């Protein structure tokens, strides 16, 4: 059982260490030659460090801008890839990603329940509504945010009911194998599922939205959230808000674990770490960054001087369509609180990459940041996003995680073998 106060830590398998390193980076070429083996090796290393889980986000498009700045990235189907990793690991959780906008709920329920069996109770589901990719599923444009979340609620309810529809103890044809018989706004699903429930209990649910509608959804169903928190204040506010919303939904206030992404650059010296950070973002010109601000906020600042101030009165109306409501809300909050210069705004995590928490320095430096955020009540854990190189990941797994364990903030060994157990869900 998880000790109260201990952190939950997952490793993101996305190639965050390759950003900005060019098409010839050795790690990227190794991944392209043997992607399944490459990811399995990362998962085994994470399991050796006793992490709660590995996690793989998914995208249903190829992004030419990223492809030009990094080695060719193989977009394997995430659930299939994690099924292969399940056979090469024993304890670590395996969190897959599936979109509620483009998939049928029966297929997703079956795939994830199958992964749950293949991994002996280690599967989890990262629920995403997607923000792009509609062109690969027909001629219908991407639905607006509110429609995507209404669909996600119904989709998730159907999946959970399907997981319960075939109790493990029920023999084939038994009366307690119950049809779902769902008829809703978006889906009609008869059921039952043809894969029985696993004795470990249903796979835990993860969700990443930090917008108001995303928070409401997470508070109602999620066991953990990957919401972006670029600074400690944002994390504290998010955690308090999710606890309040969860209670209003009749759930325990601590039902939703806040696990922000921690994008770290670790090296033997601070100077080396900051040089890695500089290299990772060197490909982003001022024009790229200004375009990112325009995409996130609908605000053109390309004509402003670097020392010019960006103030709240310059922002377009908040209801306008944007690529990511989460990133827009975070950037609006930063502007409202700080009236930043253009240079400061163009350096924000939301602009240069994603809206993740960034920590740069030695093992002791990043360890100090984690301890500070935990002590402030900002996090229940985090998702590790190694930056700069795989050496940064090695320092994290071999030195930083053991240092957390020595301070009683992380486990020294697994006590169970299921993801629900690692997360303290029984």
Backbone dihedral angles phi then psi of residue 423, each to the nearest 5 degrees:
-85, 5
Bond from prior residue into 192 cis (ω within 30 degrees of 0): yes
Amino acid 3: pLDDT: 55
CA-wise closest residue to 73 among 123, 131, 21, 125:
21
Given a contact cutoff of 8 angstroms between Cβ atoms, the answer to whether 45 and 397 are in contact is yes
Determine the average pLDDT of the residues in 110-120: 98
Give the pLDDT band (50/70/90) at residue 341.
Answer: very high
Residue 146 Cα to chain centre, angstroms: 21
What percentage of the chain exceeds 90 in pLDDT? Answer: 61
The ranges of the chain annotated as CATH 3.20.20.30 are 8-269+356-422
User: What whole-number distance in Å separates Cα of residue 231 and Cα of residue 373?
Assistant: 9
Instruction: Taking residues 326-350, report their average pLDDT.
Output: 84
Give pLDDT, residue 197.
95
What's the pLDDT score for residue 411?
97
Q: Which residue has the higher pLDDT, 293 or 420?
A: 420
Architecture in CATH of 8-269+356-422: Alpha-Beta Barrel (3.20)
Residues in the chain: 426
pLDDT tier, 258 (very low <50, low <70, confident <90, very high otherwise): very high
Q: Please state the rounded mean pLDDT for residues 292-313.
A: 90
The whole-number pLDDT of residue 170 equals 67
Instruction: State the pLDDT at residue 284.
Output: 78
Could you tell me the end-to-end alpha-carbon distance of the chain, in angstroms, rounded to an integer? Answer: 7
Cβ neighbors of 235 (< 8 A, separation 6 or more) are: 229, 258, 260, 357, 373, 378, 379
Provide the mean pLDDT of the chain.
88
Q: Compute the distance between CA of residue 143 and CA of residue 164 in angstroms, rounded to an integer.
A: 29
Question: What is residue 171's predicted lDDT score, i.e. its pLDDT?
Answer: 65
**Helix/strand number for the chain, H first, E second:** 17, 12
pLDDT of residue 410: 98
**Mean pLDDT over residues 145-150, rounded?**
92
Q: For residues 334 and 86, which has the higher predicted lDDT (pLDDT)?
A: 86
DSSP helix/strand/coil, 283: coil
Q: Give me the pLDDT at residue 1, please.
A: 40
pLDDT average, residue stretch 292-298:
86
**pLDDT at res. 70:** 46
**Residue 273: is its pLDDT beyond 70?**
yes
**What pLDDT shows up at residue 384?**
97
């Amino acid at each position: 059982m998880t000790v109260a106060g201990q952190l939950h830590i997952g490793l993101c398998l996305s190639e965050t260490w390759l950003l900005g390193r060019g098409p010839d980076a050795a790690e990227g070429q190794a991944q392209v030659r043997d992607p399944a083996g490459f990811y399995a090796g990362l998962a085994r290393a994470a399991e050796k460090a006793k992490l709660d889980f590995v996690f793989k986000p998914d995208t249903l498009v190829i992004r030419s801008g990223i492809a030009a700045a990094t080695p060719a990235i193989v977009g394997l189907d995430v659930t299939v890839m994690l099924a292969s990793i399940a056979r090469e690991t024993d304890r670590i959780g395996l969190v897959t990603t599936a979109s509620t906008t483009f998939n049928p709920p029966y297929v997703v329920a079956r795939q994830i329940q199958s992964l749950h069996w293949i991994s002996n109770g280690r599967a989890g589901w990262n629920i995403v509504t997607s923000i792009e990719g509609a062109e690969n599923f027909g001629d219908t444009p991407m639905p607006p945010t509110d429609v995507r979340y209404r669909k996600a609620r119904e989709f998730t309810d159907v999946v959970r009911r399907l997981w319960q529809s075939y109790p493990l103890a029920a023999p084939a044809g038994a009366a307690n194998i119950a049809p779902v018989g769902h008829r809703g706004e978006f889906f009609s699903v008869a059921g039952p599922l043809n894969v029985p429930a696993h004795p470990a209990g249903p796979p835990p649910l993860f969700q990443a939205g930090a917008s108001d509608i995303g928070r409401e959804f997470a508070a109602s169903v999620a066991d953990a959230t990957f919401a972006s928190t670029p600074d400690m204040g944002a994390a504290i506010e998010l955690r308090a808000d999710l606890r309040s919303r969860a209670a209003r939904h009749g759930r325990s206030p601590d039902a939703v674990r806040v696990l922000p992404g921690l994008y770290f650059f670790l090296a033997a010296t601070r100077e080396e770490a900051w040089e890695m950070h500089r290299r990772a973002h060197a490909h982003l010109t001022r024009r790229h960054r200004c375009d990112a601000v325009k995409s996130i906020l609908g605000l053109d600042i390309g004509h402003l001087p670097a020392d010019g101030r960006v103030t709240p009165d310059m922002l377009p109306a908040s209801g306008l369509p944007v690529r990511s409501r989460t990133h827009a809300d975070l950037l609006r909050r930063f502007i409202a609180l700080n009236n930043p210069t253009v240079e400061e705004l163009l350096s924000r995590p939301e602009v240069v990459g994603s809206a993740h928490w960034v920590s740069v320095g030695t093992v002791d430096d990043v360890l100090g940041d984690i301890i500070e955020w935990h002590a402030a009540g900002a996090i229940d854990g985090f998702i590790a996003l190694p930056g700069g190189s795989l050496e940064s990941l090695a320092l994290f797994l071999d030195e930083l995680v053991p240092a957390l364990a020595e301070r009683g903030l992380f486990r020294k060994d697994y006590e169970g073998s299921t993801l629900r157990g690692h997360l303290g869900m029984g």
